Amino acid sequence: MSMKPLFRFAIPDARLDRSADFHYNAFMFSPIEWHHGVVRMLDQTRLPHEVVWVDCPDHQTVAKGIRELWVRGAPAIGIAAAMGYALGAQAIRASTHDEFIRQLKPIHDTLAGTRPTAVNLFWALNRMNTIVQLHKDRPVEEIKKRLVQEAQAIHDQDIQRNVAMGRHGAELIQDGDTILTHCNTGALATGGHGTALGVIFSAWESGKRIKVLVDETRPVLQGARLTMWELQQNKIPATLITDNMAGSFMKKGTIRLCLVGADRIAANGDTANKIGTYSVAVLAKAHRIPFYIAAPTSTIDFSIASGDAIPIEERNPEEVTNVFGKVRISPTNVEVANPAFDVTPAKYITGIITEEGVFKPGELKRKLGGSNRP
């Protein structure tokens, strides 16, 4: 594990040149990268107090990083899983294709078993499996190389999609808007630039004077720790609030629109996202405030008809009872519920911002159905 006291940009310049879409700014970095044969990730549990990069030497460490939230956010989880798969593949010593594929299976399964809700994880692993299938008549060493390339392609494409998403979404934002956001959906949650927060970055860069109201997002405080940090780095005006203040600020007329990310979107537009998103959506509707989701099409799961079928991860109760793993806030031996996500029905969602454009929830299947297949 390498400790580095200073923040480093993690997008190699070489990658910056590959996409015409790529609009570089001082804040566009990646929380994860393939780095000379290891997977380097920013340990986001230490933010905003410490900037610590972890070099994962094997796929088990990558899986641990996903489970323990060193890397989080649906798109970033997908990238991490792909890189973990590629990393695991490099370590396989196999003389035959069958042996290689047999040894890939537990690597896939370890990574697939880390977190159940974000569909990008499974989408990315499917892309990796497909590479193996497509090239099964090629030498094992070539497949290994192609797996690294595919993981990097998933990363690159995520950035390109986020920048495209930012361009589409920024059109919905007006000069002077105050935007409520929940959880963290910035560069930290993705391969770079971000989803919902990426839209905010794009709007800001285009010259719109906006303000952001940031839900702290209990229990893991991604809003307070990560979103406030990203907005502060980018000098975008932001105010931190506790989750339970959002309704009150809606009532006061402070908020012009709500903008959040997604962990899995069902075919009908029902959206699983960080716990608390559903409450924000219901409150927004009660106050006639537009409520938008921003997510790449890789987050849409057309195999699921509605949100009822999305598995919701129940996490460790200590996330609720111990802030930052340090300070206990409740008596000991209490019962705790800790669903990490909730599902917002499509009827509460004004629009879904993707790299392909902005769609009403009911339009997804007709306009995008199948476009996100690996």
What is the nearest approach in angstroms of a copy of itself to the Cβ of residue 333? Answer: 8
- Closest CB to a copy of itself among residues 243, 313: 243
Count of residues making up the chain: 374
The token pair at 330 is 């409740």
Distance of alpha carbon 109 from alpha carbon 104, whole angstroms? 9
CB of residue 329 to a copy of itself, shortest distance in Å = 5
Task: Report the residue number, 106 or 253, with the smaller CB distance to a copy of itself.
Answer: 253
CB of 258 to a copy of itself, least distance (A): 13
Nearer to a copy of itself, 207 or 331 (CB): 331
Q: Is 185 exposed, middle or buried (0-12, 13-18, 19+ CB in 10 A)?
A: buried
> To which H or E segment does residue 63 belong?
helix 59-67
Select 331 or 370, whichever has its Cβ closest to a copy of itself: 331
* Distance, CA of 305 to CA of 265 (rounded, Å): 10
For residue 224, the 8-state DSSP code is I
- Could you say whether residue 275 binds a copy of itself (CB under 8 A)? yes
Q: Containing H/E element for 241?
A: strand 238-241
The residue among 176, 198, 201 whose CA lies nearest residue 256 is 176
Taking CB under 8 A as the criterion, the residue among 13, 133, 337, 366 binding a copy of itself is 337
The site string for a copy of itself over 197-226 (x = CB under 8 A, - otherwise) reads ----------------x-xxxxx-x--xx-
Establish how many alpha carbons lie within 13 A of residue 109's alpha carbon, considering only the half-sphere containing its beta carbon: 6
**Least distance between a copy of itself and beta carbon 146 (Å):** 41
Q: Tell me how far apart the alpha carbons of residues 189 and 42 are, in angstroms, rounded to a whole number.
A: 11
Site for a copy of itself in 223-252 (CB under 8 A): 224-225, 228-229, 232, 237-249, 251
Kindly state the DSSP code that residue 362 receives in the 8-state scheme: G
In the structure encoding, which two tokens stand for residue 130, read together? Answer: 């497909």
Which three-class secondary structure state does DSSP give residue 344? strand
Using alpha carbons, list the distances in angstroms from residue 169 to 100, 120, 238, 294, 353: 43, 21, 19, 8, 6
Contacts of a copy of itself in 79-138 (CB under 8 A):
none
153 binds a copy of itself (CB under 8 A): no
Look up 98 and say whether it is catalytic: no
CB of 220 to a copy of itself, least distance (A): 10
We find the least distance from the C-beta atom of residue 200 to a copy of itself, in angstroms, to be: 16
> Does residue 309 interact with a copy of itself by CB under 8 A?
no
* Residues in touch with a copy of itself (CB under 8 A): 48-49, 213, 215-219, 221, 224-225, 228-229, 232, 237-249, 251, 275-276, 278-279, 282-283, 285-286, 320-321, 323-324, 326-331, 333-337, 339, 342
Please identify every residue annotated as catalytic.
263
